[in-house]
Amino acid sequence: MKNIDRRQWLKTAGLSGSFTFLGGLPALAMDSPQHITTEGGRIAKLNSNENPYGPSKAVRKAIVKSFDKACRYPSLVYKPLIAQIAEKEGVPTEYIVLTGGSTEGLKAAGLAYGSQGKEIIAADPTFQSMLTYAENFKGYVHRVPVDESMGHDLKEMERRMNSKTGLVFICNPNNPTGTLLDKNVLRDFCIATSKKAMVFSDEAYYDFITEPDYPSMITLVKEGMDVIVSKTFSKVFGMAGLRIGYLVARPKIADTLKKHVMAMTNLLAIEAAKEALKDNEFYKFSIAKNAEAKAAIYKTLNDLGLDYVESHTNFVFFKTGRPIEEMITAMEQENVLIGRPFPPFYKWARISTGTMEDMVLFDKALRKVMG
């Protein structure tokens, strides 16, 4: 959001502290969102936290326009994107590491700081890519159960630190619970732990946070701390299939991470990301449509009396009281795909926001499945 004061926009859009869609945004001539159909009818794909409205029209045009350069390696075009990202985040270009989605950045960090006998500390449940990857390379992961509010138990995470701790992983907002850490508590925790080990702040869902003054941990990177922050174009920008994200870290750390990046991204994704950063209208559209869909999910869950965690993301984690594998099968029979199991919460389900048509299908399916 290079040309937008995010705090001011959240206030004027009426999204601060609210999950209702209040409108007031300019109408966008969007193409129809991407729907999936089978012989059994339309499928509501609500299992992967994707943005069904993207990429935007401007991004699509940029991709088509760049086809002629697709025979070239990404080195032709990645420097201008790094410059854009650096300006957006307020850091020098040496702080930016391009990756194939934020997942590649997570794995690179896990390999660099949490493998070969080193240890990682993380919440449980949380996003697993870094953790399982490090384990594949002889790393050990301390999985610390979330607290009663389904949030990170930072005190216990800090207590688990020892001489072998190489990295502390924080997914904030957390996936799959959707919880958000108190900004002051988070900052204090990151400052304290970064003096003992590398801190990784996964901010894949940062754009969906509705607290106007909520800081990115990039602020600590700027202060010279041992902190790595990951960002992605997969969520609010609707580019999950293009696989592009980035890391922000001090130059010495960034250089280490670059040595562990294996695939990076591709030329079409880079050109798409350059356009996405300029497409402020689509950014606002995506945030608003997410809030609208999330309000619809809450209404369904409230009507059915189902407990859920208030979400700061584009998904909602709710308690079904039924085995998740059973729920997945039952909902799929109603043409609705929901999230995978997240141990140890085997009687909870994660549902992504979709189009309002998807929300209607979800509402109808869940009412039927829950009897």
| pLDDT higher than 60, residue 343 | yes
Between CA 358 and CA 371 the distance in angstroms is: 20
Closest CA to 158 of 118, 117, 129, 188: 188
Residue with tokens 């001539």: 29
List, as one string, the DSSP characters of 248-270. E--HHHHHHHHTT--S---HHHH
Identify the sign of the CA torsion 299, 359, 50, 308: positive
Provide mean pLDDT across the span 92-97: 98
DSSP 171-207: ESS-TTT-----HHHHHHHHHHHTTTSEEEEE-TTGG
226-240: average pLDDT:
98
pLDDT category, 20, cuts 50, 70, 90? very low
Q: Tell me: pLDDT of 346 over 70.
A: yes
Give the pLDDT of residue 112.
97
The single-letter code of the amino acid at 300 is T
| Distance, CA of 276 to chain centre | 16
For residue 310, the Cα-to-chain-centroid distance in whole angstroms is 16
Tokens 């304290």 correspond to 192
Q: How many residues are recorded in the chain? A: 371
What the chain holds in terms of domains, given with CATH numbers, is 6-55+280-369 (3.90.1150.10), 58-276 (3.40.640.10)
